[in-house]
Chain A
Amino acid sequence: MLARRGVRSYLDRMNLSLPFAIVGGAILGLLSSFGQFSRFVGDLIRALTDVRTWGPLTVGQMRRLGVDSLPIALFLSCFTGIVLALQASYTFTGAIPLYFVGALVTKTMILELGPVLTGLALSGRVGANIAAELGTMRVSEQIDALETMAYNPIAYLVVPRVLAGTIMVPLLVIFSNVLGIASGWITSMNVLDMTSAQFVRGSRLFYDSFDIVYCIIKSTSFGLTITVLGCYQGFNTRGGAEGVGIATTRAVVLASMMILVLDAFWALVLLQ
């Protein structure tokens, strides 16, 4: 009798609906986040019509997000090209002609490493910058002040950044590709005892004009993703400084993950 009472009291104390509540809460949270993000994207698209607001600000953002990010993008690609050339020659030794180093460096830089490495670097620099900036504005109620003054905060804060990122990231990737290939070329001539003609022959061996198109499409999507996620996380920051930190971290992590996901997506869609 006592034992039966003990079990019943234990069951009464245990909330059997808790697992369902967790799953349901997660799904609702996911759907809520998705809906919130969709509404944010909708607002972003609608704000594109407000050219007077975002137009004058876009160039400044292009300078901050694009031109100022050029050194880190070039730094990354320079060493990437060197490493690619050396690793290719290490792999090809003996069996495969060395001019294939040119093919590998060029093809890899254009199709994969240029866009992805630049995108990852910019997700850290640009995505974190945007999320922290907008998050701070949110927690300090500056965005609320803009709304109070009948400014469209999306057109004023988000659209210039998104457009700047979408335009500048492909350009950064192009410069990165050029510098990566050039560094690989120089490395091949000075370290691998290759002639310039051999490297050029290898570079042109498997080149297809679609490679450039693919690279631009991919890097454009990366720029759009980095800036939109950064703006979304910053725009929806809650709490104080801690919230800003969380938003910044989320922006970087999500942007990096989405870059890799998009990398696979575009390869699947465009290269098959």
Chain B
Amino acid sequence: MKWKNEALVGLVVIAGILTALAGAVWLSGRSWSGEERTITATFRGVGALEVGNPVKVRGVNVGRVTDIRLSERGDGVFVNMSVRPDIVMPSDAGVLLASESLFGDWMAQIVSRGQYPDLEFVAAQRGRVLPGASLPDISELTAVAARISSDIETLSARIQLAFTEETALTIRQTLENVGEVSDQLEGFIGQQTRTYDAVSRNVLGATENVRRTTETASLTATDIRTTINRGDVQAILANARRASANLETLSSQLSASTGGIPGVIARVDTTVATFGATATALNQTISALQPSLAEVGPTLVEARRAMGTLSTAVGAIQQGNGTLGRLATDPALYEEMQRAIETLRRLMADIQQNPAKYIGQVQVF
């Protein structure tokens, strides 16, 4: 009994320990055989990846993430993965981190980088480290979706504001108007169709008329040909030939009478050339005069001003203002002046006759 108890207890204890170990291994998804291959990949960030997340190749679970650590410089992350040893890696293998589902669990996929040309895989700085890339987290996508939904909400709010009852009535009236216009267009098209039918009928009639006219013209041409064949035209042609000879004689006479015209024309050319030379010289003279002419304007202004002043002075003299005015208008002054001049003349004559009488007393030094 005693040994039976001990055996039973030992069995339970051993079974319990083995069950715990087996359960832990099974739940972790590790390989029972223990033969595994470790690969390392580098990333800028690993999102929500955690130790124990699955590693997949073409969707098949081939291992798990065993270690996640920052690089020495802190600018990247190294992820160790334990995978089955029989996994064949692509020649351009890379590791892509992505959400496994919508509920936050992530996975690492061993992929061919050529399948993802738009993704930027982090280049491995050392050998045997696979380049890695990570897709956006579901939270980032959710944030984008939130922004989009916010925009849609704003847009719908604006539409709601813009689409009032009045707008609806306006749209309804517009639709009714469009219906009326459509009816009118339909009537117009029907009318135009009828018009085109009439025109078509007229064209057909005109075509018939043309055909008849053509037949008439054909008959007329036949008559003309018949007439020509009868010889009536020969006489007409003889008359025309004579008239042509007369015209030729007339033209020769005209040619003789106009023989001197080229000489006259030559003289005219010479004269025109002379005129041209003269015009050229005139142009040069005018060009030379242009600076002087530019000064003529201010000179004229000055002269006009001087003439104005002179006119004012003459007006004053004519009115008897001032000394000259009074000299000009007062006869007494004139006579007095005449007398003074006469006296001076006599004095000068006396001086000429008797100079010693006036300058003999003068001494110099």
A contact residues vs B (CB 8 Å cutoff): 59-60, 62-63, 66-67, 70, 96-97, 100, 106, 167-168, 170-172, 174-175, 177-178, 203-209, 211-212, 216
B20 within 8 A of A: yes
Q: How far is the CB of B108 from chain A (nearest CB, A)?
A: 15
Q: How far is the CA of A207 from the CA of B312 in the complex (A)?
A: 126
CA distance A212 to B21 in the complex (A): 9
On whether the beta carbons of B52 and A171 are closer than 8 Å, the reply is: no
Q: Considering only CB atoms, which chain A residue lies closest to B100 in the complex?
A: A205
Q: Which residues of A contact B13 (CB under 8 A)?
A: 62, 167-168, 171
| Stretch from B3-11, B143-151, B231-239 forming part of the interface with A | B3-11
Give the distance to chain A from B81, nearest Cβ to Cβ, in Å.
16
The 29 sampled A-B contact pairs (Cβ below 8 Å) are A59-B5, A59-B6, A60-B2, A63-B5, A63-B8, A63-B9, A67-B12, A97-B103, A100-B103, A106-B27, A168-B13, A170-B16, A171-B13, A171-B17, A174-B19, A174-B23, A175-B15, A178-B19, A203-B27, A204-B28, A204-B29, A206-B105, A207-B28, A207-B52, A209-B28, A209-B52, A211-B27, A212-B20, A216-B20
Interface contact B9-A66, CB-CB below 8 Å: yes
Contacts of B8 in A (CB 8 A): 63, 67
Closest to A61 in B: B9
User: Quick one: which of A60, A177, A206 contacts B23, CB cutoff 8 A?
Assistant: A177
Flag if B9 contacts A62 (CB, 8 Å).
yes
B101: interface (CB < 8 Å)? yes
> How many angstroms between the C-alpha atoms of A168 and B16 in the bound complex?
9
Tell me if B12 and A212 are in contact (CB < 8 A).
Answer: no
- Determine whether the beta carbon of B27 is less than 8 Å from that of A67: no
Distance (whole angstroms) from the CB of B176 to the closest CB of chain A: 47
Q: List B83-127 residues whose CB lies under 8 Å from chain A.
A: 101, 103, 105
- B122-161 contacts to A, CB under 8 A, are none
Chain B interface, >50% SS class: helix
CB distance from A144 to the nearest CB of B (A): 28
Bound-state CA distance A204–B61 (Å) is 12
Complex contact A70–B12 (CB within 8 A): yes
Cα-based distance from A172 to B9 in the complex (angstroms): 12
Interface size class of B (residues with CB under 8 A): 20 to 34
Nearest neighbor of B10 in chain A, beta-carbon distance? A59
Give the docked Cα–Cα distance between A84 and B105 (Å): 22
In the complex, whether B307 has a CB less than 8 A from a CB of chain A is no
Contact check, A178 vs B23: say whether CB atoms are below 8 A apart.
yes
Flag if A171 contacts B6 (CB, 8 Å): no
Complexed CA–CA distance, A211 and B8 (Å): 28
The distance from the CB of B104 to the nearest CB of chain A, in whole angstroms, is 10
Instruction: Give the docked Cα–Cα distance between A60 and B28 (Å).
Output: 36
Is B24 among interface residues, defined by CB-CB distance under 8 A? yes
B residues in contact with A174, CB < 8 Å: 16, 19-20, 23
| A170→B101 CA distance, assembly (Å) | 35
A168 to B9, CA, bound (A): 9
**What is the CB-to-nearest-CB distance from B332 to chain A, in angstroms, rounded to a whole number?**
141
Minimum C-beta distance from A58 to chain B (A): 9
New A-B pairs, 16, CB < 8 Å, besides A70-B12, A204-B28, A212-B23: A59-B9, A62-B13, A66-B12, A97-B101, A97-B103, A100-B103, A106-B27, A170-B16, A172-B16, A174-B20, A175-B16, A178-B19, A204-B29, A211-B27, A212-B20, A216-B20
Is B27 a contact of A207 with CB atoms below 8 Å? Answer: yes
Identify the interface centre among A70, A178, A205: most chain B CB within 10 Å of its CB. A205
